[in-house]
A and B are shown apart, each in its own frame.
Chain A
């Protein structure tokens, strides 16, 4: 289920991550906020985090497919703009929980709900820095063999199995067991 396709852009401190830095398992997702499958995966990742607790570090990178999802790029920029006010995960969760409403007006509403400085948020969303961040995530993903959304990497290798909860959990637990026997 875990392929030999290797992540070419290693996880660093610049990434958005949840869970301990020294966690034995690193699950990385390349996702698109407007992609309905990513919307399903969002809840699955939450369950995995619940089940694996401190064994798991979860990392999210942007992979907006703008041609089929017209609001995906602005949603990705909204999350990155929120990150500049230390609210990446708040915005990330809000976007996935409100996938049907990702127009600009809604994004500003979410920013206000998260107590962001909305005028800074608007400036940041349109900034070169945020644009570049989203574009870099995307290009790095392409070079790492991201082939659609969501694409997951487990400890640096692309996961090609189905991403249902039981199958991801089994894979992650198997990797963990393998590591502890060594």
Chain B
């Protein structure tokens, strides 16, 4: 299964971000959104990756971009993980039906039952402008996201 490519309309979804709140992609219309699918809370590479994104949230904000992390972990797990790692961005639970949002994006690994380590940059009109899937054990860093956001900004200026 391959992930959705640039130019595709980003499928909407509504997922829990805390035990009593949900978020949908369409709420972010008018702003850029970064979707960071990752295999699981607590696993070492994810930790580094999300810690890095947490650190550079101001760089994302400069590009009017909101970051959403997504995995199949449940809300209570996300809550504990966010607290432990002091993450300042939402983690969404793609938990029931399991991996439904990831499947829409072609970012679900059926064999392992986890999401891919996949990144999507979506513009304010809800179109995917950049996507990337990284090997599970490899931390993709942030330069691809920032390059994509910069390209978006160039187009807006023109």
Contacts and interface: CB of A to CB of B under 8 A. Distances in A.
Interface of A: 5, 8, 65-68, 138-139, 142-148, 160
Contacts of A144: 143
B52 A65 contact: yes
Contacts of B125: none
Contact of A148 (B56, B59, B85, B139): B139
Interface residues of B, number: 18
Main secondary structure of the interface of A (DSSP, over half): loop
B63 to A, nearest CB: 13
Interface of B: 48-49, 51-52, 54-56, 59, 85-86, 88, 138-143, 146
Contacts of A147: 48-49, 52, 139-142
Nearest to B85: A68
Nearest to A144: B143
B23 to A, nearest CB: 22
A167 to B, nearest CB: 16
B140 A68 contact: no
B51 A67 contact: yes
Given A65-B55, A67-B86, A143-B146, 19 more contacts: A5-B141, A5-B143, A65-B51, A66-B55, A67-B51, A67-B54, A67-B55, A68-B54, A142-B52, A142-B59, A142-B141, A142-B146, A144-B143, A147-B48, A147-B52, A147-B139, A147-B140, A147-B142, A148-B51
Nearest to B44: A148
A66 B49 CA distance: 14
Q: Which 3 A-B pairs have the closest CB atoms?
A: A148-B48, A147-B141, A147-B139
